[in-house]
Amino acid sequence: MTTLLLSLLIALLQAAVPWARPLPAPLSVARWWDPPPTPYAAGHRGVDLSAPVGTEVRAVGPGRVHYAGQVAGRGVLSLTLPNGLRTTYEPVRALVSEGEAVTAGQVVAVLTQGSHCPAPCLHWGLLSGEVYLNPLTLLPRPTPRLLPDPGPAGP
C-alpha cells in the first residue's frame, strides 16, 4: 500500500515539477534499480548512470542542499526536493553548500572517480523518508514511436 501511495505522489509531482536529467542525454543505465525485499536485505537502492569523470551533474528538481560532503571516502550530494523527497548523487565533488537553494537543471556537482561500477558512473538515488524509490520515475517516460517495416531482407 505504501509503495502505491508513493508512486501516486511521484506521478502527481511529475505533472507539477519541471524535472531535469542528472546527466546530459542520452542517459546510459549501467545498473538498474533493484529494491531489496526487506529494508536490510541486499539490493541496489538507486540507478547507476555511465558517464566519464568530470561530467557535470545537475539537480533533477528544485530544492535545497540537504548534505554535501564525504561518506566512506566518496563525495556525496543529497538534495531535498518538493514534498520531502530526497535525491542523492555519488561519487561527486559538490559545487553547492548545505542549505543552498537549487533549481531544476542547475549544475550542482562534478562526477569523480571512486564509483562501485567497473567504469565511471553516477549512483543516483531517491528516498521518501527512509523508503528507497526508483529515481528514474522522476523523469518523463519516452514516447514510443513505430518505425516503418523495412520489408523483406534482400538476397
CATH of the domain at 113: 2.70.70.10
Q: Which domain holds residue 24?
A: 2-34+44-138
Q: Does residue 127 belong to any structural domain of this protein? A: yes
Q: Does residue 150 belong to any structural domain of this protein? A: no
Q: Does residue 109 belong to any structural domain of this protein? A: yes
For residue 68, what is its C-alpha cell? 554535501
Handedness of CA 36, 8, 82, 54 (dihedral sign): positive
Q: What is the pLDDT along the chain (155 residues), one digit of tens a residue?
A: 455 444 444 444 444 567 899 999 889 999 999 888 888 888 889 999 999 999 999 999 999 999 999 999 999 999 999 888 999 999 999 999 999 999 999 999 999 998 788 899 999 999 999 899 999 999 877 666 677 877 776 55
Q: Does residue 28 belong to any structural domain of this protein? A: yes
Contact in structure between 63 and 76 (CB atoms under 8 Å): no
Domain total of the chain: 1
Q: For residue 143, what pLDDT is reported?
A: 63
Q: Does residue 143 belong to any structural domain of this protein? A: no
Q: Does residue 83 belong to any structural domain of this protein? A: yes
Q: Does residue 117 belong to any structural domain of this protein? A: yes
